Chain A
Amino acid sequence: MNERSPVALLTIRAWCEDGSDHPLRAEIRLTKDVSTGFQHQLTVAYPEQVVQAVWAFLEDVCWSSDSMTSVLSRERHAPVTVLDPS
């Protein structure tokens, strides 16, 4: 790893409110440079919002890297595979 390039960090605190029509609660904190602390925070109740936040974060972190941008573009359109626990 390049010691000089900033390290971005995204954390997701998630819990369930039992009995709610939309039980997911996800608090998302993120920064493009962990040495400066968290710059943004939001809480959402829908999984697709979490996914959108993660994608936006990755694109924001890697937008200047051609190779990474193409990886993100390819993966975004890939089918989602749910692993069978059996």
Chain B
Amino acid sequence: MGRHREHDPEIRGRPRDGPRISLLGGFQLEAEGASIVLPERSQRLLAFLALQGRLVRRPSAAGTLWPVATETRASSSLRTALARLPDAAGAAVTATARELGLSDRVSVDLWDSRALAHRLLAPQDSSLPPNPGSEEVSALSTELLPDWYEEWVLIEAEDWRQLRLHALEALAQRLTAQGHYGGAAAAALAAVRAEPLRESPRAALIRVHIAEGNPSEALREFARYGELLKLELGVEPTERLRALVAELGAVTPR
């Protein structure tokens, strides 16, 4: 996260009135209140710079974005991509003869969501709103650039996926402790949807039901998960999960 912290708006105090790049759910660029349509080459360039979160040397950018081209061709493609950026998109990029990156006026939705996730995972973060809820769940529920398959995107997408899953589980736990069971269930369900076969989101959801005083819902969720595991993988829930519902009476620990 070190390379991204410098772009945390809370640290840099970035203005929110500059161009805004969205990477979650798909690529979008907004400037001066309007959505800017960009050709694919420009989208890839801006997305790459947004994911780097720092100034990048031109050869590195060119080699990553045009991996099968020669160094000369890739550098030429980068120069062309920069020259052909529409005015509003060009204002989002700062470039020298050696490096390029996003300008200080640019904000990126991924940066904001990452910062939120890290605040949720910090044990005693006091910067969260007193009642985090649907807005926070929404910010953590979207994949990074779905349907983009370049290696430099896939790795970042996986990193974001894991971060947001842990953050959703932490949010569910926090809201459960506060007695906000509706929000807690929403956060846990978002994590379940993202990783239906992973056990920890299911455990979080079951804990919400137990805390709310709905043992039947907890047992139903356990049964659903058990059936899914059996069907998809031919395995059973862990002893840890079984123990979570054992006290509800219908499940005997092995």
- Binary CB contact string for chain B from 53 to 90 against chain A (1 if under 8 A, 0 otherwise): 00000000000000010000000000000000000000
Q: Are B233 and A45 interface neighbours, CB within 8 A?
A: yes
- Binary CB contact string for chain A from 4 to 28 against chain B (1 if under 8 A, 0 otherwise): 0000010101010111111001010
Bound-complex Cα distance A3 to B232 (A):
38
- Residues of A close to B237: CB separation below 8 A: 20
- Binary CB contact string for chain A from 38 to 82 against chain B (1 if under 8 A, 0 otherwise): 100001110000000000000000000000000000000000000
- The listed residue (A11, A20, A37) touching B238 by CB distance below 8 A is A20
Q: Are B233 and A44 interface neighbours, CB within 8 A?
A: yes
Given known contacts A38-B149, A43-B232, A44-B233, A17 and B238 CB-to-CB distance under 8 angstroms: yes
Q: Are A18 and B149 interface neighbours, CB within 8 A?
A: no
Q: Are B240 and A18 interface neighbours, CB within 8 A?
A: yes
Interface size range on A against B: 20 to 34
Residue B158 lies at the interface, judged by CB distance under 8 Å to chain A:
yes
Residue B193 lies at the interface, judged by CB distance under 8 Å to chain A:
no
- Residues of B close to A31: CB separation below 8 A: 149
Chain A interface residues toward B at CB < 8 A: 1, 3, 9, 11, 13, 15, 17-22, 25, 27, 31, 34-35, 37-38, 43-45
Q: List 9 A-B contacts (CB under 8 A).
A: A15-B198, A18-B238, A19-B238, A19-B241, A20-B237, A21-B235, A25-B197, A25-B198, A43-B233
Known: A3-B68, A19-B239, A20-B235. 14 other contacts (CB 8 A): A15-B198, A18-B240, A20-B236, A20-B238, A21-B236, A22-B235, A25-B197, A25-B233, A27-B197, A34-B149, A35-B149, A37-B147, A45-B234, A45-B235
